A = this chain, B = another copy of it.
Amino acid sequence: MDAKTSQNKIAQNKTAQNKTARARIPAKLPRPSKIQLDDLVLANKILFRFNIVDAFGHISVRDERDPKSRYLMSRHIPPGMVTAKDIVTFDMDSNPLTHVDMPQMSERYIHGEIYKLRPDVVSVVHCHARPLIPFGAAKGARLRPLTHMCGFLGCGVPIYEIREAGGMTDMLVRTAPLGKALAEVLGDKSVVLMRGHGATMVGASIQEAVFRAIFATENATIQMQAHQLAINGEVEFLSDEESAKSSKGRNVPRAWSLWKHQITAGS
């Protein structure tokens, strides 16, 4: 098969896929609400600004028009470049229902599979935030809450070892089964570390998922310093009760109001 034949074949396959994709799309797919689109675009910009994502990483949210069967996430572009028109609607098997001719995130299964297992989760962030990576790779390390901003870590931070679900891979959650395995390791927690890769965090809103991504990363930086500073590396973390109590309150909307202000003001 020469190069041209091969290209034709790929083009044909793509057309066939697109037809299938279009067939999947409900006749009357309601447009996402402007508020959700604006918040999702803003979330992308905030995550980029605070170095949670770089060219890679993504955030999704359940579509409020049909939260049980659809979610919203950008197409395959860097988060810092996302605009409202790049937001794709997916079904819960992570098939795109819009933008079907465009490349999509290989790892969209992270989002769909978590939504399936966690009805309480409204938004999911996947990222390669640098300070979190050592906690997924260093033997014996354990991410634990050092301040009341990070009480959501108190319930535990599991580590996803992709080798257990997929053997030797390119590390990406490229399939529904790998996504399901990740969702199962996450369990009822807020954050799951991914060895050799990054982390995924969830929230009851876009704002909470973003908050958890930023403050889990802050906690990682502080915790590394605390272990180095301590005699024998011993550190006093928040107790379970302190973690649970400090997870409530006005922190998320207050932080979001600043981040929105910073992005909007370009400051």
Which chain A residues have a beta carbon within 8 Å of chain B's beta carbons?
Answer: 54-56, 76-78, 80-81, 103, 106, 128, 130-131, 133-135, 137-141, 145-149, 151, 168-172, 195-198, 218, 221-222, 224-232, 234-239, 241-242, 245-246, 248-251, 254-255, 257-259, 261-262
Contact = CB atoms under 8 A, between A and B. Distances in A.
B231 A139 contact: yes
A236 B171 contact: no
Interface centre among A130, A229, A261 (most CB of B within 10 A): A229
A173 to B, nearest CB: 11
A228 B233 CA distance: 10
Given A197-B148, A258-B80, A235 B137 contact: yes
B141 A230 contact: yes
A229 B171 contact: no
Given A138-B226, A222-B130, A237-B137, A242 B147 contact: no
Contacts of A151: 170
Contacts of A248: 170
A170 B196 contact: no
A147 B197 contact: yes
A85 to B, nearest CB: 16
B133 A222 contact: yes
A196 B242 contact: yes
Interface centre among A55, A171, A172 (most CB of B within 10 A): A55
B236 A55 contact: no
Given A138-B230, A141-B229, 20 more contacts: A55-B251, A56-B255, A78-B257, A81-B261, A133-B146, A133-B147, A134-B146, A137-B226, A137-B230, A138-B227, A139-B230, A139-B232, A140-B231, A147-B198, A169-B242, A171-B238, A171-B245, A196-B242, A224-B228, A224-B229
A226 B196 CA distance: 11
Given A168-B241, A234-B139, A258-B78, A222 B55 contact: no
Interface centre among A106, A145, A171 (most CB of B within 10 A): A171
A55 B254 contact: yes
Nearest to A255: B55
A161 to B, nearest CB: 9
